[in-house]
Structure 1
């Protein structure tokens, strides 16, 4: 017996495909067999499995558990919940050595996929390629593992609440907050969490529904925050928080309905953290505003720019000992008083804590940030065979010209006008561009530089793509 995966589903950070087209129960079974094989060969024996609220998730979970057991892994099933609840179950249980969450994250309803953890570390890149190789060779361990069910929701929520430890109750009880679960997997955990939080809480769309009837659960797209902004305005709330489909990414709006983007949230977290851990390293991704890195330095921290992607971020934190990291996409990672994985519910609690400790409202914190002019992420289709080659050509030309370049993930070029970025997406046949400046003229000049480099590689910023 062997199994061949559809070539596009084994990706850099996770496994993802379209149900009935590129991904089905046979794939889930093969992933289970492969993961159990890797786990057992590494000396482990037990895996925790969870799933999100998508319509196809229970079917994939059933097949995954069969595959894990058939290759001799014992399975702990924690049922439906957010991805960070799975990470928590893996990190906090002494008898577990791996974890798999079935989730389509923020993709359209017909997608689904798997996020994997092995021995407390993200399982990505070559690890995922290896699952494909083991399946193609049918090189699976044989066995008959057991299966048990555990309820971890209450313990998980209590752990998240520890983010408020030691804060004065009166400061917390005056807060009025809006929450939008977007019909994603955060719903039940959010209901339990807010029932235990001081203050007044207004909840939207906590009913889990894999068809996402109200809006798409991706808080980095401003249009998906319309309901939350309306709620904050209608009720005169202090601020609002939104989650993506599996609650590993956070979005936020202040009391005036202004979006607080990923790098701006990280700025708030950094100011709070660096008072408690002076001189700490804080990691931001290559897409983040210069204002973030300037702020980290100003608060006495060591700013570090790194590649985009939740798996590479976690690996970099482990390597540098950084207590905090974050991405533009709303993944925020706290290793300070927490486990270092991306958890939007915990990030929400830490945002409340930061506001209380800093003695300023979220609206005041947002208002204090410099108004940089930046483009959204400009995404355009480029042939898969050209996307990395084109970036290499740009990098070579810029280095020949003596430009100021950071090239850890694509090319990020600093000029007197600001900076611009061109990188290849790891997950699609897409190039991503972004620019930031202090003036409209500067932004125009930077965009012209991007277009010039693309033209020299025979490309153009053509049809804009959605996420």
Structure 2
């Protein structure tokens, strides 16, 4: 099979590189990308757009680039080629080997160096990709450097290749797993927890490496009062047991069964690169990521207040998280800031506002104490610490963080996305419901509009955010899909709104 050509537009996405190996990219492409990353992120002056003239040199004047990878079969060869390309251009490459994505962010933060994580998260085994960051785990997107990386690499592949400089960079291999675990343990102290039985489903992904190191003794850290029961800890990028994507309910079934069968206090499920974590309570019921966001937000607010009593505190949440998140944040005297969906928006707002924490409905959790980056492990540790300090089961502990009925994300494939959106818009505006378009269409029914819960008994009436219900309808960026999320005061109201919107969306007649 011939090597992929110089058109990289199919694999360079808005926030990362991702494609099928070797059909869409291979080691030749990886070497060109390594040289381009060295040029744009390591050696050129630091600049928000990447590759532009002006600004100050990369922090500390260092030429280092830190590289890690997940357990996919293609990862080691791609990393070697990428590192060689970066060395060709004079970058000193630090290869940290097998790690989670947040482990790479840790390396970028502690070494103050740009980073490249080779992973395709939960995509099938034939895929691989690269997540890039600037020093201190600052994000990189098409507009802030990834576009320039793509263009540099494409030019190299189309022409004679990149120039190899006289002072070729070095390569060193380092193991930072213990330091990663030590850093997380300093942020959340679990040593005083009551004993907990914890079932963890790693999905054959990188949590099979990180959980024993952070929550166990595999990296040489002291034992914690945790009885960790492993599911699918063998690192296997072919994902022989189930897809490493806990966002899909089918991929939680094994964990839910194991929690109940083993009488565990809590279950944790990680995705392939272990930057997202989902939680299951002692009954085997999934805990909403919004509830986790609320729980962690209150803990981070309390920690910040203890350290800086008079300082303002801000928490970021995307517009699909439950209304209970801003309600509880503001009740705690902090400021809740609502953003669009997506890590780039969360991280931008974290930096702009100085927020201590940010959460998304997709189980991405962001911490100022972790360079503003997302880490599922740290969120899991917060849940364990809260549970370990409580004398009630997890289901009781999180009950106050999930008072409303939510649909979860419901996807609809439609022939004409704009027409479907307009059908919904026409109905809701005729009824006088509130509407904003920060990200897709968010529609709310304020109390008093006649859309309150109807005859549903105690608890009916004002619901999330003082509203009877709200929903968000967003178009997929890559597929002819509309994504619907509904939240309401009770299940009956949520189902009524959900079904009415879906009928409009799916009416292609």
TM-score under structure 1 normalisation? 0.87
Alignment of 1:164 with 2:188, yes or no, is yes
Q: Which residue of 1 aligns with 2:450?
A: none
Q: Find the aligned partners of 1:388 and 1:68 in 2 and give their Cα distance.
A: 44
Q: Which residue of 1 aligns with 2:134?
A: 118
How far off its partner does 1:398 sit?
Answer: 7.1
Contact (CA 8 Å) 1:254, 1:362: kept in 2 or not?
Answer: yes
Contact (CA 8 Å) 2:101, 2:275: kept in 1 or not?
Answer: yes
Structure 1 residues 229 and 398: CA distance shift in structure 2, 3 A? closer
Structure 1 residues 442 and 317: CA distance shift in structure 2, 3 A? same
SS of the aligned residue for 2:370 comes to coil
How far off its partner does 1:392 sit?
Answer: 9.0
Contact (CA 8 Å) 1:272, 1:358: kept in 2 or not?
Answer: no
Q: Which residue of 2 aligns with 1:329?
A: 362
Deviations 1:250-269 (A, max 9, x none): 01101111101211111111
Max radius of gyration: which structure?
A: 2
Q: Which residue of 1 aligns with 2:462?
A: none
How far off its partner does 1:396 sit?
Answer: 9.9
**Which sections of structure 1, spanning at least 5 residues, go unmatched?**
461-467
Counterpart among 224, 232, 235 of residue 205 in structure 1: 232
Structure 1 residues 130 and 430: CA distance shift in structure 2, 3 A? farther
Q: Which residue of 2 aligns with 1:219?
A: 246
How far off its partner does 1:72 sit?
Answer: 2.2
Q: Which residue of 2 aligns with 1:131?
A: 149
Contact (CA 8 Å) 2:276, 2:375: kept in 1 or not?
Answer: yes
Q: Which residue of 2 aligns with 1:292?
A: 325
CA RMSD of aligned residues (A): 2.8
Counterpart among 422, 425, 437 of residue 473 in structure 2: 422
How far off its partner does 1:7 sit?
Answer: 2.6
Deviations 1:362-382 (A, max 9, x none): 232123344533223122345
Q: Find the aligned partners of 1:355 and 1:93 in 2 and give their Cα distance.
A: 33
SS of the aligned residue for 2:444 comes to strand
Q: Find the aligned partners of 1:363 and 1:394 in 2 and give their Cα distance.
A: 36
Counterpart among 95, 116, 121 of residue 100 in structure 1: 116
Structure 1 residues 178 and 380: CA distance shift in structure 2, 3 A? same
SS of the aligned residue for 1:177 comes to strand
Q: Find the aligned partners of 2:73 and 2:169 in 1 and give their Cα distance.
A: 27
Q: Which residue of 1 aligns with 2:279?
A: 252
Contact (CA 8 Å) 2:424, 2:501: kept in 1 or not?
Answer: no
Deviations 1:127-156 (A, max 9, x none): 222222223344966522221111111111
Alignment of 1:76 with 2:100, yes or no, is no
Alignment of 1:275 with 2:302, yes or no, is yes
How far off its partner does 1:231 sit?
Answer: 2.1
Q: Find the aligned partners of 2:182 and 2:245 in 1 and give their Cα distance.
A: 26
Counterpart among 234, 251, 257 of residue 261 in structure 2: 234
Q: Which residue of 2 aligns with 1:341?
A: 373
Q: Which residue of 2 aligns with 1:378?
A: 410
Structure 1 residues 395 and 323: CA distance shift in structure 2, 3 A? farther
Q: Which residue of 2 aligns with 1:465?
A: none
Deviations 1:198-225 (A, max 9, x none): 2322122211011111221112222212
Deviations 1:297-337 (A, max 9, x none): 233332222122223212211111110111111111121x4
Deviations 1:96-138 (A, max 9, x none): 3x00000010112222111100122101131222222223344
How far off its partner does 1:445 sit?
Answer: 4.7
Contact (CA 8 Å) 1:317, 1:323: kept in 2 or not?
Answer: yes
Q: Find the aligned partners of 2:130 and 2:356 in 1 and give their Cα distance.
A: 26
SS of the aligned residue for 1:368 comes to helix
Number of residue pairs matched?
Answer: 449
Q: Find the aligned partners of 2:392 and 2:366 in 1 and give their Cα distance.
A: 23
SS of the aligned residue for 2:239 comes to coil
Q: Which residue of 2 aligns with 1:90?
A: 108
Q: Which residue of 1 aligns with 2:501?
A: 450
**Which sections of structure 2, spanning at least 5 residues, go unmatched?**
46-56, 218-222, 306-311, 447-467
Structure 1 residues 364 and 67: CA distance shift in structure 2, 3 A? same
Q: Find the aligned partners of 2:73 and 2:212 in 1 and give their Cα distance.
A: 21
Contact (CA 8 Å) 2:314, 2:357: kept in 1 or not?
Answer: yes
Q: Find the aligned partners of 1:176 and 1:329 in 2 and give their Cα distance.
A: 25
